[in-house]
Structure 1
Amino acid sequence: MDEVNQKKAKLALIYMAVIMALVFSVWQVMLNNFTVEKAGFSGFDIGSLQSVREIPGFLAFTAVFILVFIREQTFAITALGVLSVGVLATGYFPSNAGLLITTFIMSVGFHYFETINSSLTLQWLPKNQAASFMGQVIGYSSFAGLLAFAAVWLLYKQIGLDYIWIYTIFGTLGIAMVLHLWFMFPRFENIVPQRKKLFLKKRYWVYYLLTFLKGARRQIFMVFAAYLMVEKFGYTLDEIAALFLINKAANIVIAPLLGKMIEKIGERKALTIEYVGLVGVFVGYAVVESAMIAAVLYVVDHLFFGLAIGIKTYFQKIADSEDMAATQSVSFTIDHIASVVIPITFGVIWMSDPSLVFYAGAGFAFLSLIASNLIPNSPAPGNEFIWSKKRLAA
């Protein structure tokens, strides 16, 4: 890809990430209050809903079969349209069954987009620029999310719009932006033709393990950390929106710095910092009794996830160029093996003792810490983990 097209490709990646962040953030920030206030959800209900949300993620491996018939870039844009339609429909069905259906539709678009977007990013970017660019994308996405949360606060708190209208406004906006995206950018050619079949490679096993543990840990954060704020500490929608605003504002500045830090110190050290911090955060969730301290933990937790860029750049350094699309499809399924199970099973545990949910999160973070230290200081094909053949031969 020449320099001009690479600049355009970067802009396309940023625009797609902004659309996703803008629309999904509205769905996310209103979900807990919407389900409790409009649909009367319990902890078990929210866990069930989140499990359904993760089913398309578990089925992300099917993306590689769809790529036989459709270009990756077209697939990503289409997925964003499906995401927007799901969000638009959410406010019209405030019931258990209705939310299960609209959430599933939204999630199909979300997870297919995330799968293909990761593949395109790893293919279109040079290895020495990937981490810093992904940090920048998180910054742009965070700014879009900040705008979304601010708009929710303004529309709900100040203007008094009901949930249904907010979901409709942002779902429609997402569809309009997707159409603009479709006509604005040319179709970019992949640098290396991708393998259009499923496979697992033994030498990628550390990447698969880190991906699995990340999925388990992420679900506990996404499902139960925010729910803790609403159920235990009584946060209202505008207070949750304000908390999300703080997260996004911090990420605008910090995420690009984290990307540069990963390029400077390497994936192994960066991930070690993340997982040591997350062990402390999850233990904090388990014992916290102060609403303010819980909010601080939530912000710190969210910031640590920026270092997960290191998992993707680690894979980019060790992988064959033609493996990107298929492996990203498989890795999203691996990510969601635990994600399908954890929300509903941990929802049952939550009803007995919420602290056990967060102690389990600390356990997942500790296992991730062990796995991250299997990464060599200079990962590359043939040097995928600390006792790989090339390293032993040297």
Structure 2
Amino acid sequence: MRIVPLSEARHLPLWRRPVSLLFLMAMAQPIAFATWSSLLNNFVIEVADFDGQDIGWLHTVREIPGFLAIGVIALIMVIREQVLGIVALIMLGLATAVTAQFPSMGGILTITMLSSIGFHYFETVNQSLQLQWIDKLRAPQMLGFIMAAGSAATLVAYVLIVMTWETFELSYSFVYWVSGGFTALIALFCLFAYPQFEAPNPQLKTFVLRKRYWLYYALQFMSGARRQIFVVFAGFMMVERFGFQVHQVTALFLINLVANMILAPVLGRVVGRFGERFALVFEYVGLTIVFLAYGGIYAFGWGVVLASVLYVIDHIFFALALALKTYFQKIADPGDIAPTAAVAFTINHIAAVFLPALLGYLWLVSPGAVFVLAAGMAVTSLVLAMMVPRHPEPGHETVFSGPLAAPAE
């Protein structure tokens, strides 16, 4: 396989350049994963008779590979990051394709584990490659455009589901085969059509845990814990409490995608203009309000319209997570990006291993309490975000470090 230094990639045709590969992979991943997610709650309730406890265990199993993402460090000792990312993408596609062939609790958990290994290892490598291949000055807006591209691909998948699910009486098996197979085919194209790109800064292939990155680690931990409540229980609520059908859940996802396509590049410019601290503070204030309102749905009987609006707003706020990526890019040693991406992914998933199952039991007793707990996590994240400096850089990772740390900061 031809190896091309990043500095020489500009001589390649536009479609074969590193950023083009990032865009293509960003569009391939959600075709499988987003389709899996949009059908999941209906699939497990209708086929396997899941309740809140069962869905909690499913997502705990799904997050175990994320907790073990640190294994990427060992793998990149023997395989190039780019190849590892594409192979993981193929694994995600193939596992998604066969999901409906195992309609039992044990079968669903096993296939979920396999698809999750592909998803989490791809995401770990993909985030590392994005920060290595995209210039710091262009990163916020470029990451916004990449998120928008992924949203566009998912949009196509959702539109097809909404338009064809009832009309053609599609089966779970057919949709999973088509979406997962398509992702695997795109990944195979990426494997053979692109050269291997060589970043200018060789990546450390050892475990990296640096004291000066502590705030980034803390924000990653809280982000993972908070995200689990949204991913696991917000969508499950729409099906269990309000009786949403597959095409209705997918339509809700569709609205999210349109919003992300429009707003992700805008949010990227906001981060570039106002900085990571402003973006993170804005996100966590908004999420605190959203989660408290979720709790109000159960406490005061608020209806389906408000729940749907909150679901969309919630999803939009999560797009600001790109600020966490660019914050790390600004404070990191160039050679730390790959190993720290793996470490951060593991930290992000520490809570994910036990939280869904634990909160699944709480859900059976008090669903509203689950969302109140999420609001508390958002407040904790807000406190941490206030420690991010306006202009982060190596040696000035927090408001308490570096020569710029002043009372005005």
TM over 0.5: yes
1:203-352 counterparts in 2 under 5 A?
Answer: 203-288=212-297, 289-352=302-365
Contact 2:72 2:121 in 1 (8 A): yes
Report the residue type matching 1:12 in the other structure. Answer: L
Compared CA separation, residues 228 and 393, structure 1 to 2 (3 A): closer
| Correspondent of 1:156 among 165, 169, 172 | 165
Contact 1:152 1:241 in 2 (8 A): yes
1:109-148 counterparts in 2 under 5 A?
Answer: 109-148=118-157
Distance 2:66 2:310 in 1: 27
Moved beyond 2 Å, runs of 4+: 389-394
Compared CA separation, residues 189 and 201, structure 1 to 2 (3 A): same
Question: Are 1:381 and 2:387 an aligned pair?
Answer: no
2:3 matched residue in structure 1: none
Superposed displacement of residue 108, structure 1:
0.2
Deviations 1:4-31 (A, max 9, x none): 1696111100100100011111100000
Superposed displacement of residue 390, structure 1:
2.9
Contact 1:285 1:297 in 2 (8 A): yes
> Which 5+ residue runs of structure 2 have no aligned equivalent?
1-5
Distance 2:31 2:10 in 1: 27
Contact 2:208 2:336 in 1 (8 A): no
Superposed displacement of residue 154, structure 1:
2.8
Superposed displacement of residue 389, structure 1:
3.7
Deviations 1:72-123 (A, max 9, x none): 0001100000000110110101110000000000000000000000000001
Distance 1:389 1:321 in 2: 19
Question: Are 1:54 and 2:63 an aligned pair?
Answer: yes
Superposed displacement of residue 392, structure 1:
4.7
Root-mean-square deviation (CA), in Å?
1.3
Superposed displacement of residue 199, structure 1:
2.1
1:106 matched residue in structure 2: 115
| Correspondent of 1:366 among 372, 379, 382 | 379
Tell me whether 109-118 or 168-177 shows the greater mean CA deviation.
168-177
Contact 1:124 1:191 in 2 (8 A): no
> Which 5+ residue runs of structure 1 have no aligned equivalent?
none
Superposed displacement of residue 393, structure 1:
8.8
| Correspondent of 2:74 among 54, 65, 69 | 65
**SS of alignment partner, residue 404 of structure 2:** helix
Report the residue type matching 1:272 in the other structure. Answer: V
Aligned length: 394
Deviations 1:305-357 (A, max 9, x none): 11111111000000000000000000000000011111000000000000010
Contact 2:204 2:336 in 1 (8 A): yes
**SS of alignment partner, residue 188 of structure 1:** strand
Distance 2:195 2:290 in 1: 44
Report the residue type matching 2:339 in the other structure. Answer: A
Tell me whether 7-16 or 28-37 shows the greater mean CA deviation.
7-16
